């Protein structure tokens, strides 16, 4: 039975990856942070009581800032594959916590790579790199595009990217970076813009909010569904050789278009409900991300299966149910009775 160690297992991607690996027959070891409240909501449905027989999901306390524990986990578990998904993953927050973001996202990766090197285990390593590293490089961005990071988060992830490449070359480690473009879904954190919007739609329909406050509506992103992207992570570690890959759909939308798609799902005009709060503007913005994932399609045979419209649909339907207890039909009916509280319309 193959063994996988997953950092960031309680996150969006970690939870989907855990499901995928368990379905493929892996024994999965996840690293979780100690918190004063439960932080395992996304993996509760696959959690197994350790006292049951044939348990294949094991959780261990750990933190990317704690190198000695990472070393202990790698040495004792001896995983065949390691997926490093843990990160302070919010670009906006990284401007407020640049030092912490660097400690976790950059140095945390080095701590894990060092743990592997020192333990001498024969393992394959996946690093969660990001399209943010491209910054304002011309679109579409491929593996050959220049890196021009525009945030502390992107700079930290670029450090981790080069560290991964260096350990591959220096120590002959099967270590790869997946340069993943934005991927979303029903489990996306509620402070990322897509989920903030679909969650906001649900709260407005439920009468809990009368406006949704956003920042830059002009940003263009290449949004896919996280379930497709964790499959790409796994495929990269099954390849014959360690190669970095760009993963994305190639299709782009503005934040404004995402608003339109989500609000029109329930028959509302987004311009009546969305307001601009400059607090959400970033000191430097990444304006246009579009993936050229030709290499992944050619070498790995990877392609996305969930399109933009289906993704938005799934997120809106999920949030209407979770937040308002409504199905789409009843939500649309309820939305006809809503009246906007005379908001100033943002510039279209």
Which residues are catalytic, by number?
Answer: 130, 132, 153
Stretch that binds ligand NAP, among 50-58, 182-190, 255-263, 300-308 (CB under 6 A): 182-190
Give kind and range of the element (H or E) at residue 31: strand 27-32
Q: Quickly tell me which residue has 């809106």 as its tokens.
A: 316
Interaction partner, residue 10 (ligand G4F, ligand NAP, none; CB < 5-8 Å by kind): ligand NAP
Q: How far is the CB of 280 from ligand G4F (least distance, A)?
A: 4
Rounded Cα distance, 5 and 324, in Å = 37
Q: Taking the C-alpha atoms of 118, 120, 124 and 127 in order, what is their torsion angle to the nearest 10 degrees?
A: 0
Q: Which is nearer to ligand NAP, 115 or 266 (CB)?
A: 115
Q: Shortest Cβ distance from residue 346 to ligand G4F (Å)?
A: 11
Q: Which is nearer to ligand NAP, 59 or 335 (CB)?
A: 59
Q: Does 183 bind ligand NAP (CB under 6 A)?
A: yes
Residues 86-115 that bind ligand G4F (CB under 6 A): 89, 91-92
Q: Which of these segments, 45-53, 176-184, 259-267, 273-281, binds ligand NAP (CB under 6 A)? A: 176-184
Measured distance CA(27)–CA(6) in Å, rounded:
11
Per rule CB under 6 A, is residue 215 in the interface with ligand G4F? yes
Hey, which residues between 240 and 259 contact ligand G4F (CB under 6 A)? 255
Spatial distance between the Cα atoms of 92 and 280, rounded to a whole number of angstroms = 8
Q: Considering beta carbons, is residue 174 or 280 the nearer one to ligand G4F?
A: 280
> What is the three-class DSSP state of 337?
coil
Among 192, 209, 271, 338, binds ligand G4F (CB under 6 A): 192
Among residues 4, 55, 63, 56, the alpha carbon closest in space to that of 31 is found at 63
193 binding ligand G4F? (CB under 6 A): yes
Q: What is the token pair recorded at 42?
A: 């996304």
Taking the C-alpha atoms of residue 86 and residue 198, their distance in angstroms, rounded to an integer, is 25
Cis peptide before 140 (omega within 30 of 0): yes
Q: Could you give the CA distance from residue 255 to residue 215 in angstroms, rounded to a whole number?
A: 9
Least separation, in Å, of the C-beta of 42 and ligand NAP?
8
DSSP 58: E
Of 215 and 340, which has the nearer Cβ to ligand G4F? 215
User: Residue 72 contacts by C-beta under 8 Å, 6 or more apart in sequence?
Assistant: none
Place of tokens 């690293």: 31
Task: Assign residue 225 a region (left: φ > 0; alpha: ψ between -120 and 50; beta: otherwise).
Answer: beta
Q: Which does 39 bind (CB under 5 to 8 A by kind): ligand G4F, ligand NAP, none?
A: ligand NAP
Closer CB to ligand NAP, 11 or 200, in the complex: 11
Interface residue with ligand G4F, options 57, 139, 201, 219 (CB under 6 A): 219
Phi, psi of 236 (to 5 degrees): -65, -35
Q: Give the residue with the Cβ less far from ligand G4F, 26 or 126.
A: 126
Whole-angstrom distance, CA of residue 210 vs CA of residue 80? 50
Pairing of strands 224-225, 124-130: unpaired
Question: If binding is defined by CB under 6 A, does position 145 make contact with ligand G4F?
Answer: no
Q: Binding to ligand G4F by residue 130, rule CB under 6 A?
A: yes
Binding site for ligand NAP (CB under 6 A): 7-8, 10-14, 33, 35, 39, 63-65, 85-89, 104, 128, 130, 180, 182-183, 189
Binding site for ligand G4F (CB under 6 A): 89, 91-92, 130-132, 181-182, 191-193, 196, 214-216, 219, 221, 255, 280, 282, 285, 289
């Amino acid at each position: 039975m193959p063994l996988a160690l997953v950092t960031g297992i309680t996150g969006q991607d970690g939870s989907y990856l855990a499901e995928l690996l368990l379905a493929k027959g892996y024994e999965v070891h996840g690293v979780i942070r100690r918190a004063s409240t439960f932080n395992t909501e996304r993996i509760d449905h696959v959690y197994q009581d350790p006292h049951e027989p044939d348990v294949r999901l094991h959780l261990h306390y750990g933190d990317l800032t704690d190198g000695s524990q990472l070393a202990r986990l790698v040495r004792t578990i001896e995983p065949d594959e390691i997926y490093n998904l843990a990160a302070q993953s919010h670009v906006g927050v990284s401007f407020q916590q640049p030092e912490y973001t660097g400690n976790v996202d950059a140095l945390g990766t080095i701590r894990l790579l060092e743990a592997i090197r020192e333990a001498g285990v024969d393992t394959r390593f996946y690093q969660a790199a990001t399209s943010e590293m491209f910054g304002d490089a011309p679109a579409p961005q491929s593996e050959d595009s220049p890196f021009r990071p525009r945030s502390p988060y992107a700079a930290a992830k670029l450090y981790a990217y080069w560290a991964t490449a260096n350990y591959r070359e220096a120590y002959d480690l099967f270590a790869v970076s997946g340069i993943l473009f934005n991927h979303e879904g029903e489990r996306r954190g509620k402070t990322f813009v897509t989920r903030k919007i679909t969650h906001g739609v649900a709260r407005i329909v439920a009468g809990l909010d009368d406006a949704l406050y956003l920042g830059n509506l002009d940003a263009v992103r290449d949004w896919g569904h996280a379930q497709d992207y964790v499959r790409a992570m796994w495929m990269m570690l099954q390849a014959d050789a360690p190669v970095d890959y760009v993963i994305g759909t190639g299709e782009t939308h503005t934040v404004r278009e995402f608003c339109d798609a989500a609000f029109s799902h329930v028959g509302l005009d987004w311009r009546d409900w969305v307001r601009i709060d400059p607090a959400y503007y970033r000191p430097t913005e990444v304006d246009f991300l579009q993936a050229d994932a030709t290499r992944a399609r050619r070498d790995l045979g990877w392609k996305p299966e969930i399109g933009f419209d289906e993704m938005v649909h799934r997120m809106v339907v999920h949030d209407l149910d979770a937040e308002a207890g409504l199905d789409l039909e009843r939500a649309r009916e309820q939305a006809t009775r809503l009246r906007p509280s005379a908001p100033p319309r943002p510039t279209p």
